[in-house]
Amino acid sequence: MYEKLAFLDERYEKLSESIADPEVIADMDLWRKQMKEHAELTPIVEKYREYKKAVEDIKEAEEMLKTETDEEFKELYETEIKENKEKIPVFEEELKILLLPKDPNDDKNVIVEIRGGAGGDEAALFAADLYRMYTMYAEAKRWKVEVLSSNMTDIGGIKEISFMIEGSGAYSRLKFESGVHRVQRVPETESSGRIHTSTVTVAVLPEVDDVEVEINPNDLRIDVFRAGGPGGQCVNTTDSAVRITHIPTGLVVSCQDEKSQHKNKDKGMKILRSRLYELMAQQQHDAIADERRTQVGTGDRSERIRTYNFPQGRVSDHRIGLTIHRLDAFLNGDMDEVIDALITNEQSEKLKGV
């Protein structure tokens, strides 16, 4: 580990010089690439240097202690040695985590897809609650949200919605949200006051570009149709809605939110590209059985990952056995406590395999 850290420290110094070189700055593609690598190495190198300083401080204090006769100074050196020795294992653990292989998608924007599951209107209403929760979380992080496609109900629920969240590290924070979300509450539509259980499925896909997923135009069937609103209300008088079918996989994407057929097609292609990428990644994931141990849950959309219990005001994440009793705050976008715990658990699982 320490040989690797020393190498990274040396690489960091070279990059620091290179990104300040006018010739490199003139080549914007090279400069951006090196800036990205420099930024990724910064937290590792800074922690390594903290670790090295603690080791050096121990050695210096031990040397001084050998010749020191003043009892007061001896006590100061002994305290310094003790404090730095306590720091060493903490730094080592932090360095192990920083050196873990990084998910290549972590820095990407995400496409989130929410669909009402079992529970009819109540499931659609809770899907709207989850959409609001994610948009409020994104707002707190200063991320941008753009709706790509939506299908609403007459009473303000969401049958299904796809939206993009753009922001640094969006995928790294939201990738654990894929799966079945269960809600237990008395529906607004229920007059007898009985608690109902409904489900909503969430899929979080990294945004991908043309280079990562190449789509052959001959593999696509593109149909256009007239957009419609809740209850069959006509919201457009032209054939602006677009349905894209990827023939080899059978994946179908529909977009009708924009008045422009061209814009709907662009949004549909973004969703299709991300779904194909997820499909390819899942096939690769299934082929490597050991990789399953490094994931929080299976990542399968059919897996129940979390329960939102309104009568008890609690949120329970079933993958890590964590329950918090502040449901309202969580649904208002205060999700970091649970997300941080999921990230810590993933890191612990990965460390077991190191």
- Decide if 257 is inside a domain: yes
Of 74, 98, 122, the domain-final residue:
98
Position 210 scores a pLDDT of 55
Are 281 and 329 found together in one domain? yes
Determine the structural domain holding residue 240 and report its residue range.
110-351
Mean pLDDT of the chain: 83
**Is there a domain that residue 105 lies in?**
no
Question: Domains in the chain: how many in total?
Answer: 2
Q: 27 and 52, same structural domain? A: yes
CA–centroid distance for 144 within its chain: 14
Give the domain-ending residue among 66, 98, 130. Answer: 98
* 174 pLDDT above the threshold of 60: yes
Which ranges of 304-353 would DSSP assign to H, the alpha helix?
A: 327-331, 336-352
Cβ atoms 274, 207 nearer than 8 A: yes
Average pLDDT over residues 95-99: 83
Residue 17 clears pLDDT 70, i.e. is over it: yes
Q: Which residues contact 80 (CB under 8 A, 6 or more apart)?
A: 57, 58, 61
User: pLDDT exceeding 70 applies to what percent of the chain?
Assistant: 87
Residue 104 lies in a domain: no
Higher pLDDT, 47 or 270: 47
181 shares its domain with 261: yes
Contacts of 245 (CB under 8 A, 6+ apart): 220, 221, 222, 223, 251, 252
Task: Enumerate residues 6+ apart whose C-beta is below 8 A from 322.
Answer: 316, 338, 341
> Rounded to 5, what percent of the chain is helix, strand, coil?
50, 20, 30
Mean pLDDT, to the nearest integer, of 80-103? 86
Task: Report how far apart, in Å, the C-alpha atoms of 110 and of each of 68, 130, 206, 292, 298 are.
Answer: 60, 16, 4, 22, 19
CB within 8 Å of 149: residues ≥ 6 apart: 160, 161, 162, 253, 254, 255, 256, 257, 267, 268, 271
Q: Give residue 295's pLDDT.
A: 38
Residue 212: pLDDT band with limits 50, 70, 90: low
- pLDDT-based confidence at 232, cuts 50/70/90? very low
The reply to whether 224 and 174 lie within a common domain is: yes
